[in-house]
Amino acid sequence: MFSTRRIRRCFGAFLLVCAIPATAPVPAMAEPAVNKTYSYFRIGGRTAEDLDRELEKRGPITHATGHRHPGATEIKFGGDVTYVEKGGQCTVGGTRVTLRTRIMLPRWSNRGKASSDLGFIWDTLSADIKRHEERHAEIARNHARQLERTLEALRPARTCDALEKDVAETTRRLLEDHDAEQLRFDQVEAANFDARMSRLLQYNMERKRK
């Protein structure tokens, strides 16, 4: 007996959207479908102290901390799995992991009127904020690839119900690993912020003088 069974499944720690039609074909060993977008929030201010207050007042609130931050990356995993029953076993016929990331960054309304010194500091800071958030998106992409490869490689089970449980447990474990790596990255970056900014300002100043 040969039959296929499609089960739509969403993954992830944040708000998830599963938009793949139940009748859509799923290519085996496909790369995750990754979509990345950007949005911006405006801040005002004319001094460094103003900028600090504006970022604290208008920055996005993250689910992980409940606090506002200078930037944030919203991550949404989704996915679709095909199960194939044949010869008394159930196997994964194909997987499609989807990933949507939205990077939220500050945009300073008064940048064009700023003094050269404050503008220099802002350009250095805003570039570092963007680099930080791009790394969050990269971590998510790496885990999406790992999730898809791992699900494709799952061993057959006696029933599709049992294999579906394996898929759910594997997904839960790998997404917990993803969340832990994101947290570790934030902790390291926070601990090194002052030293990193001093180094970046010095480096950019030397480049500016050349």
Confidence band of 209 (pLDDT split at 50, 70, 90): confident
Which tokens hold the place of 153?
Answer: 């490689």
Q: CA quadruple 168, 174, 176, 179: dihedral positive or negative?
A: negative
* For residues 33-51, average pLDDT: 94
**Are 124 and 201 spatial neighbours (Cβ–Cβ below 8 Å)?**
yes
> How confident is the model at residue 18, as a pLDDT?
25
The pTM score is 0.81
pLDDT of 65: 74
Give yes or no for a contact between 144 and 175, defined as CB atoms under 8 angstroms apart.
no
Residue 26: pLDDT band (50, 70, 90) is: very low
What are the start-end ranges of the H helices in the chain? 48-58, 116-152, 160-191, 193-209
Contact 78, 15 (CB under 8 A): no
Which sequence spans correspond to the domains of the chain? 2-209
